[in-house]
A = this chain, B = another copy of it.
Amino acid sequence: MADRKRPKPGETREKLMNAALTLVGKGRHFASLGIREVTRQAGVVPTSFYRHFRNMDDLGLQLVDELGLVLRRMMREARANVSQADKLIDESVGIFITHAQNNRAFFMFMAQGLAGESRAVQEGIRSEMRYFASELANDLRRMKLAEHLSDADLDLTCDLVVRSVAFSLTDILGISPEDTYQEEQVRKRTARFLQLIFVGAANWNSHP
């Protein structure tokens, strides 16, 4: 009689992960979250936590995996919406910022994790960024937009692009989601960062 309903398998697991994300979205840092706090937010008894995660680090790792899915979805959308090469940067940045606003908590978690206290989470996020950069390099190759660059230099360029965009995260997440003016500023500035990088890449000599 203590059992209210019979939840679908994995439901509580999701509830817990969402609870952690919610707290992060409210401004809390993931490293400062406790098991009890998360279970409370999830509306679940503390003991349930251990049915799904060994500790908070474990939960963090599983969040990184989900973050990967979000990023891939975003990348797919970006690829589908690429119209012409000259609008490529602006549109991609736009898609990124939109996703960042729509998945605020996820991206906050990502920004936090880069300097977080779990080495594993750190490495996971880093790995997602590498994957992102390599996909970007593939796209640029396919679109024949970087034919004069060696593989290593193209890789370098894409890495820098991804880092710059990632850093813009801290700009976006720092402003309120309703402040469309500031959002526009960040959007423009990020786009100009990328233009600057691409001008650099275009004039780069891979065999000096």
Residues of A at the B interface (CB closer than 8 Å) are 27-29, 31-32, 108, 111-112, 114-117, 119, 122, 126, 156-157, 159-160, 163-164, 166-167, 170, 173-174, 189, 192-193, 196-204
Contact = CB atoms under 8 A, between A and B. Distances in A.
- A interface, over-half SS: helix
Contact of A29 (B31, B156, B160): B31
Given A197-B196, A203-B202, A204-B199, A170 B115 contact: yes
Number of identical protomers? 2
A160 B196 CA distance: 9
Most chain B CB atoms below 10 A, which of A115, A122, A160, A196: A115
A72 to B, nearest CB: 22
Contacts of A192: 156
A117 B156 contact: no
Contacts of A197: 160, 196-197, 200
Contacts of A173: 115
Contact of A196 (B122, B166, B174, B204): B204
Contacts of A28: 117
Contacts of A204: 196, 199
Contacts of A115: 29, 108, 111-112, 114-115, 170, 173
A116 B115 CA distance: 9
Nearest to A122: B174
Contacts of A203: 199-200, 202-203
A156 B189 contact: yes
Contact of A193 (B112, B156, B189, B199): B156
